[in-house]
Amino acid sequence: MPKPEIIGSIASTCTRAVCMACEEKGIDYVLTEKPLRAPEILEIHPFGKMPVLRHGDFALFESKAIATYLDRSFPGPNLFPADPRALALTEQWVSVVNTLMDRTLIRTYLYAYIAPRTTGGRPDREVIDAVMPAVREQIGVLDKAVARTGYLVDDELTFADINLLPILYRVQQLPEGLQAIANAPHLTAYYKRHSLRASFVRTTPPSGPPPRAKPPSS
């Protein structure tokens, strides 16, 4: 069987989540570093977003879909539980992180630092100050979610955790985000514990910002 090829950048939170999934399952994979909208990505993703997957003659886009395919196609620990309730909870947390929290924490807060709409490229303090109540609220929700077991779903690692950890990595690199996480003791313990996982350590991106995407529309 050919190795799965993940095409994207390890600096991207979504690409990193897929790579972490491979690491957790012990999948022998290849990461091909490419920027957003590279021809190799556009061949698979109609909007040029990363990551995309090639596995033999099969191609796929969207990180959750890729992770599901890899989880079902390879042996190793199940990242999407077989139990219907645990699976539904995993899907729930992946969905809310990808559709709501990513827009707040990455597309708005992080991008106010790395892709600001300001003269000279200074951090956009107006955007940062405006989004911080939502950042703190969402960090608080996550703090409560992991308080009981140290996982988002029951007492086992799922793709819900893998999907979240690269986002927390980026948020805690910025001063307000670092403070917000520090004020959430359960989430702090959760991040410290899981950031020691081999899958997290082996996929740590080089220093620098993630790939720039089009900033969210105002």
pLDDT digits (tens, 9 = 90+) for 36-49: 999 999 999 999 99
Residue 217 has a pLDDT of 34
Q: Evaluate the CA torsion angle 184, 186, 189, 193 in order and state its sign.
A: negative
CATH says 5-73 is which class?
alpha beta
Residue 209 has a pLDDT of 64
- Model-level pTM? 0.94
Q: Which two tokens stand for residue 199?
A: 């899958």
User: For 119-146, b where at least 16 C-beta lie within 10 A, e where not — what string?
Assistant: eeeeebeebbeebbebbbebbeebbebb
pLDDT band at 125 (very low <50, low <70, confident <90, very high): very high
Strand partners, 60: 53
Q: Are 52 and 8 in contact (CB under 8 A)?
A: yes
pLDDT digits (tens, 9 = 90+) for 94-117: 999 999 999 999 999 999 999 998
CATH says 84-202 is which class?
mainly alpha
pLDDT digits (tens, 9 = 90+) for 58-92: 999 999 999 999 999 999 999 999 999 999 999 99
pLDDT higher than 80, residue 156: yes
pLDDT band at 211 (very low <50, low <70, confident <90, very high): low
Higher pLDDT, residue 106 or 209? 106
Domain ranges of the chain: 5-73, 84-202
Mean pLDDT of the chain: 95
Residue 92 has a pLDDT of 98
